[in-house]
């Protein structure tokens, strides 16, 4: 059984079912979750049935697609409803949460969407005095405790009972109007389940980010006020604000496939002022839906354009509504008419490629900073003119090496390795054409060397553009292989390429994987801290020492018995180390994009 085959279950339902179990049944819960995961399921209408054995079934009733009450999960065993099967079924199912791209109805007006050059609005004096309520601080404390328990146990020890505490805390936080922290708690649960299930898409770094976001936001709720408190609270739903009439120019369309089983597309457009917006269509369905939706009409006014067509055409929109992160709303008052688009070499789109790569990278880093305000706006896309240099083997696979303005060597990777999508085949084909010059659009990957996920490019022949996840290049599309090539020289990967910061990062990740006790058994880390100090990172060295010391510290009472570990103190050290490594890594990434030659090279598209 795949978890995606089960309907999502509301967090409070799972928490309630686990909390109602006896201590004896709680000990059996994780094993039962694993057992149910191997059993067959079948769906009839809104009900999904899991065959526990030849005589017993668990039914999950999900009217509207979500299991919203504990009574909606029933079991036919003799111990029901006090059996372990109901709780195990809830723990095996995905956690219900609003899917991305689905909330597109406008709400009351909010400030204008934030662009790369916008500044945050100045709060008034009343908002500066606002503080969290006692109920909100209590909810934040519960979130902190649940997150600290994950650090104490590690992935292997953070089973269904630990996860249910997170789900209960998340539900309470939503009721107390703390959606940002609640969302982080749900992300931690989802990643814990992926890790424990051996999901190949799971990355420890993602769980580190989610857990640090949870702990950091919970801490800020208890200490912040005014605008900082508003950012820590977050927004319960994506707000859309009226934006009048817009003239939009299509850029490209990318397939979207999520780990939760959603699929669809996102089409990027730019306004006359260069501001980026998106039109999305994402729903349950996976990669098959992503490929099909690309040729469906966009859900924006009366436009008959498909997503593929919009990526190369234009729209005149009246009554437009736009969210802070640039998503276009599809409310009833929106009207759209198809108009002429613009080539990437024509204004206003050509202006996107005129900003130096280092400035684009700095802007993208601000928008995707691991712990940035989700409503901060901005885009993680870069627009570059590059020359292909060829394929480069890495530990994680093969990437495409390119050279761009300023003597910067940029590594291009694929957005998705699914063979149904065209990303990998197109990248490998482009790697066989060194010397080819392309105009590209990519998504920044924070790394110690310049790195992008390649999303779209100009056609190698110079005619039109290619959506690299949807359109398939052929060898005939490449330049004549007999033509002379002049590959750019390979430059160093940046000053931070060999930074010993990873010595602290790996201990931060090790805590998440194995728990506090495993870190406490490391012993002497003097050699590691000495190496870090020699690299000019004394703060990192101090944090590593403090983290390991806190992990190993266990006081005893007057009778020599071990006292409970200081989980709060350890969580504070861990959070500090996680946030510090993220900040330094982002600084090193920005430095890697600085030009390595005297003066920027002229864009090949602007040469006579």
Q: What is the DSSP string of 30-81?
A: HHHHHHHHTS-EEEETTEEEEESSSS-EEEEE-GGGSB-SGGGEEE-STTTT
Selection from 277, 274, 264 nearest residue 317 by Cα? 277
Q: Give the confidence band of 235 by pLDDT, cuts at 50, 70, 90.
A: confident
Helices 567-592/502-514 angle, 10° precision: 140
The alpha helices in 355-501, defined as continuous H runs, are: 357-368, 423-430
* Residue 367, pLDDT above cutoff 90: no
Quick check: 304 and 297 in contact, CB under 8 A?
yes
Quick check: 562 and 368 in contact, CB under 8 A?
no
Quick check: 204 and 511 in contact, CB under 8 A?
no
For the chain, report the end-to-end CA distance as a whole number of angstroms: 61
Please state the rounded mean pLDDT for residues 234-238.
70
Q: Give the confidence band of 136 by pLDDT, cuts at 50, 70, 90.
A: very high
Average pLDDT, the chain: 84
Per-residue pLDDT reduced to its tens digit, 53-111: 888 999 999 998 899 999 999 999 999 999 999 999 999 999 987 444 333 333 222 22
| Greater model confidence, 238 or 193 | 193
Distance of CA 230 to the CA centre of its chain: 22
Residues sharing a CB contact under 8 Å with residue 60, sequence separation 6 or more, in sequence order: 6, 7, 9, 47, 48, 49, 50, 67, 72, 73, 89, 93
CA distance 371 to 367: 10
From the number of C-beta atoms within 10 Å of its C-beta (0-12, 13-18, 19+), residue 542 rates as middle
Distance of CA 394 to the CA centre of its chain: 23
Quick check: 520 and 548 in contact, CB under 8 A?
yes
CA distances from 439 to 39, 222, 323 (A): 50, 48, 28
Q: Which pTM does this prediction carry?
A: 0.77
* Residue 267, pLDDT above cutoff 90: yes
Other C-beta atoms closer than 10 Å to the C-beta of 360 total 21
Quick check: 167 and 14 in contact, CB under 8 A?
yes
Q: Give the confidence band of 553 by pLDDT, cuts at 50, 70, 90.
A: confident
Q: Which two tokens stand for residue 367?
A: 């928008």
Per-residue pLDDT reduced to its tens digit, 404-442: 988 899 999 999 988 999 999 999 999 999 999 999 999
- Look-up of token digits 């990526």: 311
Give the least confident one: 12-21, 53-62, 257-266, 382-391: 257-266
Selection from 442, 552, 522, 450 nearest residue 493 by Cα? 450
CA distance 106 to 488: 49
* Residue 580, pLDDT above cutoff 70: yes
- Secondary structure of residue 20 in the 3-state scheme: coil
CA distance 379 to 239: 18
State how beta strands 314-318 and 381-394 pair.
unpaired
The alpha helices in 74-133, defined as continuous H runs, are: 84-92, 125-129
Residues sharing a CB contact under 8 Å with residue 145, sequence separation 6 or more, in sequence order: 165, 169, 568
CA distance 36 to 152: 27
Quick check: 113 and 27 in contact, CB under 8 A?
no
Laid out side by side, the sheet with 314-318 consists of: 276-284, 262-271, 246-257, 314-318, 335-339
CA distance 321 to 333: 9
Distance of CA 184 to the CA centre of its chain: 11
CA distances from 285 to 45, 184, 261, 290, 470 (A): 17, 24, 6, 8, 17
Per-residue pLDDT reduced to its tens digit, 302-346: 778 999 999 999 989 888 888 777 888 877 788 888 889 999 999
Residues sharing a CB contact under 8 Å with residue 195, sequence separation 6 or more, in sequence order: 155, 202, 204, 207, 513
> What's residue 186's pLDDT?
94
CA distance 381 to 368: 10
Selection from 265, 352, 263, 253 nearest residue 309 by Cα? 253
Quick check: 177 and 214 in contact, CB under 8 A?
no
> What's residue 318's pLDDT?
87
DSSP single-letter state for residue 221: H
């Amino acid at each position: 059984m795949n978890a995606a085959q089960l309907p999502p279950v509301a967090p409070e339902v799972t928490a309630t079912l686990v909390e109602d179990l006896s201590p004896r049944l709680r000990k059996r819960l994780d094993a039962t979750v694993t057992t149910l995961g191997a059993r067959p399921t079948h769906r009839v209408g809104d009900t999904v049935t899991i065959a526990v054995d030849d005589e017993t079934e668990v039914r999950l009733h999900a009217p509207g697609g979500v299991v919203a009450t504990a009574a909606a999960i029933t079991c036919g065993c003799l111990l029901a409803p006090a059996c372990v099967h109901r709780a195990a079924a809830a723990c095996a199912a995905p956690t219900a949460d609003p899917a991305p791209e689905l909330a597109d109805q406008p709400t009351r007006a909010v400030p204008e969407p934030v662009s790369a050059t916008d500044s945050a609005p100045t709060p008034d004096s009343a908002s500066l005095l606002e503080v969290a309520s006692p109920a909100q601080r209590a909810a934040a404390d519960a979130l902190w405790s649940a997150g600290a328990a994950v650090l104490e146990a590690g992935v292997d020890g953070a089973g269904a009972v630990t996860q249910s505490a997170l789900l209960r805390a998340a539900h309470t936080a939503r009721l107390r109007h703390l959606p940002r922290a609640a969302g982080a708690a749900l992300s931690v649960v989802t990643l814990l389940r992926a890790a424990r299930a051996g999901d190949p898409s799971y990355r420890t770094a993602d769980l580190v980010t989610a857990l640090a976001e949870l702990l950091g936001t919970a801490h800020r709720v208890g200490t912040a006020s005014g605008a900082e408190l508003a950012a820590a609270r977050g927004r319960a739903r994506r707000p859309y604000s009226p934006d009048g009439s817009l003239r939009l120019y299509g850029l490209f369309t990318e397939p979207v496939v999520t780990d939760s089983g959603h699929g669809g597309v996102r089409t990027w457009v730019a306004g006359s002022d260069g501001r980026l917006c998106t039109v999305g269509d994402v729903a349950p369905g996976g990669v098959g839906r992503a490929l099909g939706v690309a040729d469906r009409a966009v859900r924006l006014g009366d436009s008959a354009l498909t997503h593929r067509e919009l990526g190369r055409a234009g729209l005149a929109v009246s009554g437009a509504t736009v969210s802070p992160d640039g998503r276009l709303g599809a409310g009833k008052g929106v009207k759209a008419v198809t108009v002429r688009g613009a080539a990437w070499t024509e204004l206003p789109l050509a202006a996107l490629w005129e900003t130096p790569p280092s400035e684009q990278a700095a802007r993208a880093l601000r928008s995707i900073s691991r712990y940035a305000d989700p409503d901060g706006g901005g885009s993680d896309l870069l627009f570059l003119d590059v020359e292909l240099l060829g394929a480069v083997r890495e530990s994680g696979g093969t990437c495409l090496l390119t050279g761009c303005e300023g003597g910067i060597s940029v590594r291009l990777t694929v957005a998705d390795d699914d063979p149904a999508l065209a990303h990998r085949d197109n990248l490998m084909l482009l790697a066989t054409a060194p010397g080819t010059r392309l105009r590209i659009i990519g998504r920044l990957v924070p790394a110690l060397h310049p790195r992008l996920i390649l999303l779209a490019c100009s056609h190698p022949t110079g005619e039109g553009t290619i959506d690299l996840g949807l359109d398939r290049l052929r060898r005939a599309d490449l330049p004549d292989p007999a033509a002379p090539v002049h590959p750019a020289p390979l430059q160093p990967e940046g000053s931070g390429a060999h930074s010993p910061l990873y010595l602290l990062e790996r201990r931060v990740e090790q805590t998440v994987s194995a728990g506090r006790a495993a870190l406490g058994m490391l012993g002497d880390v003097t050699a590691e801290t000495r190496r870090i100090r020699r690299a000019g990172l004394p703060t990192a060295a101090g944090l590593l020492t403090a983290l390991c010391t806190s992990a190993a510290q266990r006081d005893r009472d007057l009778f020599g018995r071990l006292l409970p570990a200081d989980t709060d103190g350890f969580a504070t050290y861990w959070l500090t180390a996680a946030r510090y490594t993220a900040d330094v890594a982002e600084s090193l990434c920005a430095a890697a994009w600085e030009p390595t030659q005297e003066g920027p090279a002229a864009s090949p598209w602007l040469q006579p």
